[in-house]
Amino acid sequence: MLTFETINELTLKVTCTGNDVLFTKAGAFIAGENAGGKNYRFEKVLFGPQSNLGQAVLNSLARRVTKENLPLMKVNLNGDSVTYYANYGQHVVVYHLEPGETISVESENILAFSQDCDYSVRFIGVGVLSQKELATSTLTGRGKDAYVAVLSDGNPIVLSNVYSRDTIAVDPDAVICWIGNGHCDPQVTADVSWKTFIGQASGESYQYEWHGNQPVTVIIQPSERKGGIHVGID
């Protein structure tokens, strides 16, 4: 059994009771403690976290094609222990997925997830390219210990329309993840006009939008990734 919690906003603490398996960003381990000799070990994940080799290979190819490639490390926990993980002082957000609940997250923002999460990569739109080329990594809760830890550049902001049913619009380069059941992928909207091509673009030419009939929780960071599409004529 695993439990995730955040320590000092910047560190993930994983408590293991018994034997279990954890997947983390490669190199994220910073410390551990347990009674007796060290009872956990690390191994590189060559293709993916899936137990089925064929599925793991296909997902590995999908991650490379979509640029959602994520260097993963498998942590085999053999007995009671506490281990700690971090990534260059980034803030850590922990989420406990209910069975069937899905979190769609940018691969670079994944810090760790438990083996009770099913991992995959999928496209979420066509026609306009964002920094992540309209693909996302997906983790779906399968068991009672489905935990995910994500990274944020700065203290994250949480937006939700689950109760308000408001429309949520965000910059794709600021999105960390979104959580919901069923089909809660955003619509991709583009604001391109003749001004874009004479160097008068607003700098916010495309956005992700969720409408009131799509109950969703979106986590964003107070920082934008560099990249995306910049259209203009000097």
**Quick check: 233 pLDDT over 80?**
no
Place of tokens 């997902």: 59
* Mean pLDDT to the nearest integer, 167-191: 86
Counting every residue written for the chain, the total comes to: 234
Tens-place pLDDT, residues 112-160:
999 999 988 877 654 444 444 566 889 999 988 999 999 999 999 999 9
Which strands make up the sheet holding 187-190, listed edge to edge? 168-170, 206-210, 187-190
> Rounded to the nearest 5 degrees, what angle is found at the Cα of 188, between the Cα atoms of 184 and 190?
160
pTM: 0.81
Confidence of residue 182 (pLDDT cuts 50, 70, 90): low
Tens-place pLDDT, residues 28-64:
999 999 999 999 999 988 755 655 544 444 454 444 4
pLDDT, position 167 = 96
Helix, strand, or coil (residue 66):
helix
Percent of the residues in the chain that have a pLDDT greater than 70, as a whole number = 74
Burial of 3 (0-12, 13-18, 19+ CB in 10 A): middle
Tens-place pLDDT, residues 66-82:
444 578 899 999 999 99
